[in-house]
Amino acid sequence: MNAITHHTQPSQLPTHPTTTTSRPRRRSMALTAAVLGLTISLTGCGLSSDNLSASDEAAVQPPSSTTPDADTAPAEPATTPEPPAAAPGTRANPHPVGTTVGNEDWSIVVGTPREAWGEISAENQFNSPPEAGLEFWIVPLTATYQGATSGTPWLDLSVKFVGDDAVTYEGYCGVIPNNIQDVGELYAGGVAEGNACVAVPAGAPGLWTVTTGWGEPAFFTAR
């Protein structure tokens, strides 16, 4: 007896229907991503532009819209302090001729300086005239010694000329009339009256200085 063999059809696995919307959905997502990327890019550009112009905006501030309180007094403008005046007798503030200056040892009065080649040439025939561009100027002095020991004019007193060119002149004039350096040693109360002389640039503006010992010079006007 023949066995009946049943041929069982292999069961078919259920198949999923093909989704027709897959590709359109991917395209939609890609388009959305592109739009978002473009938006972010434009936003970034906008932020960058603001940053670049921020310094300009900070430099030019718009006027304040607030109204100041009527009771508030306006602030006083700041005043620039004036520099202190130069001390008398300095180059910036010279003494006028005739001013008495002094220290512990000397009291000195400077007379009016004058051009003196005529006087000097008459004083000694061997005196040489000033070099080209120079003049001999005499400065009268009255010096009183008031120290505790003694003083000598030719050692203690010095007269020079400081031109507007910031150069100090002390050139020799030769034998001059009534030379103060010819006065001998003085004691307290002793007075020396005489002349000092300096070779200076002809017609040059400037100041005269008188110095005692190693002290600082006292400046005087030229006339």
- pLDDT tens, 45-96? 444 433 232 344 444 555 555 565 656 666 666 777 888 889 999 999 999 9
Q: How many CA atoms lie within 13 A of 79 on its CB side?
A: 4
Contacts of 164 (CB under 8 A, 6+ apart): 204, 205, 206
pLDDT digits (tens, 9 = 90+) for 5-21: 444 444 444 444 444 44
Beta strands across the sheet bearing 218-221:
168-169, 157-163, 206-212, 218-221
How many whole angstroms separate alpha carbon 182 and alpha carbon 171?
18
pLDDT, residue 222, reads 86
Domain ranges of the chain: 106-221
pLDDT digits (tens, 9 = 90+) for 168-217: 999 999 999 999 999 999 999 999 999 999 999 999 999 999 999 989 99
pLDDT, residue 165, reads 95
Q: Is CATH 2.60.40.1240 the classification given to domain 106-221?
A: yes
Neighbour count for residue 58 (Cβ, 10 Å): 8
- Portion of the chain with pLDDT greater than 70, in percent: 65
pLDDT band at 35 (very low <50, low <70, confident <90, very high): very low
| pTM for the structure as a whole | 0.64
